Amino acid sequence: MLLYVALSAAWLPFSERLLVEMIVSDAGYAVRGASDGAEALARVEDEMPALVLLDMRMPVMNGWEFAREFRARWGRAAPIVVVTAAEDARLRAQEIDADGWLEKPFEIEDMLATVHRFLDRPAPDQTAQP
């Protein structure tokens, strides 16, 4: 299971979080979403994800706070990939000792390649018939 932690604002006509959840799910991965770090920690209590895609700016508990608490409780039980529009995504990832980063805006292929890389799963064969 992959956990995507990002703000999902009800007033926006387009929700990045819901789009990412749909794309990752369509690629064959189980995915759960959380709107803030506190909700994400509760989801991790229920089930440890194989990967955390983490936005940094959220209400209630931001990405920095989530990462600090996650690492304190579970160490490196799951890789964390920072998903950010910050000027230096690599620096944001280093700040929280993340395993990787994905810069916004990102191409769908880049996001899926990141997920595949961290879950150590080969990319699905797009030409395979059901």
Domain annotation for the chain: domains and CATH numbers: 2-118 (3.40.50.2300)
70 pLDDT band, cuts 50/70/90, is very high
Higher pLDDT, 81 or 14: 81
Assign residue 34 a region (left: φ > 0; alpha: ψ between -120 and 50; beta: otherwise). beta
DSSP of 45-68, one letter per residue? HH---SEEEEES--SSS-HHHHHH
Q: With 80 as the cut, is the pLDDT of residue 120 above it?
A: no
Q: Which two tokens stand for residue 39?
A: 């909700």
Q: How many whole angstroms separate alpha carbon 40 and alpha carbon 53?
A: 11
Q: Which residue has the tokens 């690629």?
A: 27
User: For residue 122, what pLDDT is reported?
Assistant: 45
